[in-house]
Structures are given as C-alpha cells and as structure tokens.
Amino acid sequence: MKTLFSKLTINKINIWQLLLPLLAVANVAYFFHNLIGSFITLGFFLFVPGYLLLSLLKHEIKSSWEILSFSSGLSLLQMIVGGLMLNTLNYFGLEKPLTTFNIFILLNCLTTALLILNRKKSYQLPKLKIRFSMEQIVIILLLSLLPFLAVGGAISLNNGGPNTLTMILFGLIPVLFLWLIFRPGLKSLYSYAVLMIGMSILFTTSPRGWYITGHDIHHEFDVFQNTYNNSLWPVRLVTGDPYNACLSITILPTILAKITNIPAMYIYKFVFQIIFSFCLLTIYLFIKRFSNSIHALIGSFIFISFPTFFNDMPFLNRQEIAFVFFGLLVLTTFTDMKKGPKLILSITLLISIMFSHYSSNYITLALLTSSWLIYNFLKRIQVIKSQFEIPILRLPIIFGAFFLTFLWNSQITVSASNLESSVIQTINDFRYKRSVHDRFLSYGLIEQTTIDLQKRFEDFAQNKSNSAKYVPAYNLPLTNLGKAISGVADVKNLNYGMHTFVAKIYQILLILGIVMYFFKQRQLAKKEKTYYFAIIASSLALLVTFTILPRLATDYTITRLMQQTLILTALPIIIAGEFIFIFLRRFKLPAVALVFIILFLHSSGLIPQLTGGYRPQLALNNAGFYYDFFYTHGSDILASKWLANNRDKNMLIFVDTTSGKPSLDYPVYKGLLNKPGQISNTSGYLYLDYTNVQHGVYRIALGDLIEYSDPLPTLQRNLLYSNQESHIYGRR
C-alpha cells in the first residue's frame, strides 16, 4: 500500500465566515473549565489575531509554516500591547484593569476590529492535499511521541522514579534526525520535526519539580504573581526591578493565565515552552532562505544541541519570548516583502524585543549598530548589485530603537540600573586592573584561565570562618561502561573536557565559516548576502568583546549570548563543517550532522549518564548541581509559609544564596547574609532548606556557585520549626 491517505480536498470557505464563529467558540470554551477548553481558547488567541494582523500588511508570504510563525509572534505582541493599554486605565480610575472580564473584552474587541478590517478581502482556505506514505506516518507518530516521553520522564523523576523515558527520548532524537537527513522524501516533515524535537527537549527540564524550579524563573514568577494577583502591572517597583519591566513575564502570562483555566505555574512550565518552540521554526525558515532544507534542519539542530538550550532556557522565560521576536526580526529582514509591510514588521518586532527582555534588547541594538558599520565598510570595497529592502539597516530605525530603549528603561520603568552598573564596573575593572572571575569565561577561545574553586573559596573564607570547608561538586559514580573506559582514559577528564570543547568547537567553526562566507558573498555581492555577512561578523565581534570585558560575561553570561547569536550563525558553522569534511564528498553533510549528534548526546547528559564521572543533569537525576541549587521541594514551601505567618518582622532572616527562592510571601532578601561565619553571633532567624539539611552544605556565589559546609550557624540557636527536610532556627 503506497499511501494510507489519498488526496483530501477541503472546500473553499471565506475566512470571515469561519473565524467569527470560532471567536465565539474560543470565548465559550473558557467556561468549560477543563484542559481542552483552555487549549481551544489559548490556541485561538495565540494565532488568529496575529494572522489577521499579518493579512492586513499584504505580506506576500506563501509558506504555511512561515505564516504560522509570524501569526504566533504578532498574537503575542497584540496581547502585550493590548494588555499595556488596558493597564493604563488604572490612571483613569479603574482599580484592577487586568481582570479576566476586562481581558476578554479587550481581546474580543481587537479581534473583531481585525475581522472587520479584513471583511472585504477574499480570503479563502487553501486546498489541503494530504498524501502520506507509511514511512511518513511512522515518522509523524514518533515525532509526536517525543513531548510525551519528555513530560513522562520528568514526572517519573519528580515522583522519585527512574529516568528511563528521558534516556529513551535522548536516544531516539538522533535516530530520527539521521533518518530525516538520509531520506530526501521526508523533507516536507522537517518543520514539524524541528518543532517537536525542540519542544520535547524543553519539556525534559521545565516540568521538573511540583513547584517552580530553576534560577531566574523564581524571580520571574514573583513579578508575574504580583501582576496576576493584583490584576495590575505596577509600572515601577520601589527598587526599579528590571524583571518587572519585562512585559513578557508580567502582562503576557497574566493574560494567558486569565483567559484559560491553566494554573499560573503551568503557564511558565508548559505554555511558555510551547511558544518558544516556534522560535526554532523561524531559525529553520531563515536558514532555508539562504540555503536548503537539509542545511536548515541541521542548523536548527545546532541551536537545539547547545548546552544552554537544555539547562537554562526553560528557566529564562523572558528571554524565550525575546528570542521569538528576535528570530522573527531576522526572518523579516531576509524575507522578500514589499517595502511598507517589511518596515512596519521590523519596527514592530524591535519594540517587541524591548518590551520582552532588557539584555536581549541591548544585544540586538549592539548587533544592529556594529552590522551597520561593517556593511558600510563593505560597500566601500565592493559593488553591491541588488536593491534588497533592509529596514533595520537605516540609521533612523537604529537611532529610534536606541531612543525608545532609553525612554522605556530609564524614564518609564526606571529599570536601567543593571546596565549602568555593568558599564561603571567594566570601566572600573580597567581603571583599577581588577580581575573578574566567571566560570563561563573558560568556554571562550581567548580566555584560558583555569578556575580553582576550592582556592577561590578558601581565599574568600580566610579570616571569616575557620569552620567553613569547601565541598567539591558531586559527580555520578562510574558505571560498568565508565570503569571499562577508565582503563584507557580518565572518564571524568573526558566528560568535563568535552563540555568545554562543545563551546570551543562552535566558536572555531564560526570563525572558519565567517571567513569562508566572506569570500562567498563577495562573488555575488548582493545586498542581503553582504548584510548577512555583516551581522554574523558582528555576532563574532560581540563574543570576542564579552571575552575581553569579562564583567559583561558575568552580568550576561557568554553562553546565553552564544545561544542568541546561533540564530544567525548556525549557517556559517555548517559551511565550515562541510569544508572540513569535504574529502567525504557526498557524505560530508551527514558527517557534519554526526558531529552535532555527538555533541547533543553529551550536552543532553546521555553519554555521561551511561559512563558516570560527570555532574548529574537535572533532566536525568534527582541529584547534582542544578538539583541542589534550583529544585524547589515541598518542605521548603511549607517552611517558608510557616515563617511568613509566624516571624517577628523586626528580626532578620538568614538564608544562603538560593534557599530563599521559594519564599515569595515576604522580602527575604532584606535579611540576606550568606558569607561564611557572618551569622554565628547575630540575632535573627536561620532558614535551612532541603539541601542545607539533607546534605549539610551551604552555597555562595563567587563568580560561580560554590558549596561549603559550616557547623557553626546552628550553634546556640533554638530550633523553632522542622518538617524533617527543612529547619528554621531562632536567636534573639
């Protein structure tokens, strides 16, 4: 049987006639108070308004996946801007503007207005021709299974079970990836494959724990809860909190939570990850614009296989949303489109990035400025033939983006203190010749400093505490396979060396790829290719700048910068890989894919899990660095609530670096003292979380998070509360 389905044709229908009833369904579905109803409402408002906005621009985009990507991004922007406009009604006497009722009125009015504006246009559904071979059906089913394996594996670990499902997932993804590459007839499934693979990897980490788990996400969830509970976004917090200025984690999740019956926590754990998965589509479509489908598939996989994607992106929701807009900005820049729509989309997406995340916005502005300089230099040494429209290459657009950033961060939200602090400290580092320690600098090609965490801690703790002792990071014990390998090589050194090599190989290939692309674009000298070279060269220059100015790498880690620039630089990395394997001829591209599969298998934790001798990954273990530092336990929630209800507000609360993260009910940071020996004879509450009690260690940030033991803090203190896993001591 060649095909399971023959041609299936859907009759033409007017979009106005279809979407107006669907708008009513989306509203009614909310009142079902179940998961299906929530996803009907969510799905409608996540795609339809954006599609209607896009249609008004006469976009000329024919790719269904590209239309889907732009529709989702513009729908998000409508929620953010619409929610911001609704929030301003507070100044006119509306005490709680962001209530469910008000939000539904807003979304319905905006969507209805868009439908009215589109009413005269003869939009009709395209004819769908569904023709799947048995092989395609098998691939689709396996790809669709991946997110369920990821969530099942996370739930199993949360319940103290094995990591079998996640291990199967990490083994299955490379198999499917190679299958797609070697079977040209499966190219039509590449977009879906990128979406499902990316989503499944995010789902291995984001559902970990029954509470909010991660680093930045605790602070993000705190500012979201403040907006959600008060149905009002406070434009300025007393501290000028930059997180509060990110509408991507305040107004946006508030709207998403209130138009659905999805619990607020799971908006962060699941909905944001689904939204971020569409960024991978933009990467695929962007690379395909310059090359071919296989290059686009490998390029998307390169972005996915970078360690930051596994370990950190699910904890950086504000950056996830910013990446969605940044990816769409890149795609818009290099998509054939009329001058007017392209200009409007470019400006709109620049504003979207500004609303979403301050650091991603600063990086975008730096890239735009430096790429403008490089492009204009190239114009002087070569003749550019085409007149391709690039709005973000215009100085008025760049200056306007800088002005709006200044207005938003410095005048409206008063949240630019972090940028000002970074600039001042960078200048002072040069002035006073201060060294800056950060473990992420070891991933750079220029910085080769070996970081001795034990010596750093001992130097810091000297004359502060004689009882504080450095505790080495926990590594998985060697498995039978690891013991067999250890007869030939040191497994621990291999694993840690591989981890550093991952970042370095990306940079080596990037440099080689940029050099090769320079000569390639000179042969054609087209505007879009020249500007693309300018912006990837800018990405490399920015990476070098972060290495030379380590303060920047401390405030905004170089690995997160590499993750953002990979949206642009994946293609030159592939070009360099093909050049290295050119002797393999027609197998050179599969060889490049195999290299990144190996990197993926290590970054995911699959290889270290099979050998041991490496720190445990959160997606695969209930132990290790991320688990100890960022996993929120139920005992900590209970202890935090007890302390919030029973504490003397005039007394300080002492916690270590991360144990106060679940304590969202009171400002624990006001009493935060986490230096060894500093709290021994000081009155106040001592809060010991799960890791403090179960492992007997504390944590401190010294360019890196370091664990240490110290028996003194609990001496001469009375135990006030205990649930066996978390303790609270008191002393007056």
CA 295 – CA 299 distance, rounded (Å): 6
- How many alpha carbons lie under 13 Å from residue 257 in its C-beta half-sphere? 23
Site of tokens 């799905």: 43
Please, are residues 454 and 472 in contact by the beta-carbon 8 Å criterion? Answer: yes
63 contacts: CB under 8 Å, gap ≥ 6: 285
Residues 309, 365: one domain? yes
Please, are residues 385 and 553 in contact by the beta-carbon 8 Å criterion? Answer: no
The reported pLDDT for the residue numbered 323 is: 95
Residues 596, 682: one domain? no
The reported pLDDT for the residue numbered 449 is: 52
The reported pLDDT for the residue numbered 702 is: 74
The reported pLDDT for the residue numbered 435 is: 55
Residues 508, 534: one domain? yes
Q: Using the 3D structure, point to which of 57, 86, 117 is the last residue of a domain.
A: 117
5 contacts: CB under 8 Å, gap ≥ 6: 130, 131, 132
Distances (CA, A) of 364 to 139, 218, 245, 468, 573: 37, 25, 17, 43, 21
Q: Is residue 458 assigned to a domain?
A: no
- Domains contained in the chain, number: 3
The reported pLDDT for the residue numbered 646 is: 85
Please, are residues 59 and 70 in contact by the beta-carbon 8 Å criterion? Answer: yes
516 contacts: CB under 8 Å, gap ≥ 6: 572, 575, 576, 579
Residues 110, 139: one domain? no
The reported pLDDT for the residue numbered 429 is: 57
The reported pLDDT for the residue numbered 672 is: 39
Show the DSSP H helices in 525-557 as ranges.
527-548, 550-555
Q: Is residue 139 assigned to a domain?
A: yes
Burial of 238 by CB count in 10 Å (0-12 exposed, 13-18 middle, 19+ buried)? exposed
Residues 641, 593: one domain? no
The reported pLDDT for the residue numbered 718 is: 85
The reported pLDDT for the residue numbered 556 is: 67
Q: Is residue 143 assigned to a domain?
A: yes
The reported pLDDT for the residue numbered 650 is: 78
Q: Is residue 618 assigned to a domain?
A: no
Diameter over CA atoms, the chain: 81
Q: Is residue 1 assigned to a domain?
A: no
Q: Is residue 405 assigned to a domain?
A: yes
pLDDT tens digits for range 66-122: 889 999 999 999 999 999 999 999 988 888 999 999 999 999 999 999 888 887 666
Residues 95, 207: one domain? no
Q: Is residue 447 assigned to a domain?
A: no
pLDDT tens digits for range 145-166: 999 999 999 999 999 999 999 9
Residues 347, 265: one domain? yes
Q: Where in the sequence is the domain holding 76, given as residue range(s)?
A: 15-117
The reported pLDDT for the residue numbered 442 is: 52
> Global pTM?
0.90
Residues 79, 106: one domain? yes
Residues 39, 162: one domain? no
The reported pLDDT for the residue numbered 427 is: 61
Q: Is residue 597 assigned to a domain?
A: yes
Q: Using the 3D structure, point to which of 54, 86, 117 is the last residue of a domain.
A: 117
Q: Using the 3D structure, point to which of 51, 85, 117 is the last residue of a domain.
A: 117
Residues 91, 204: one domain? no
| Residue spans of the chain under pLDDT 50 | 1-11, 445-448, 660, 663-677
Residues 569, 713: one domain? no
Residues 173, 268: one domain? yes
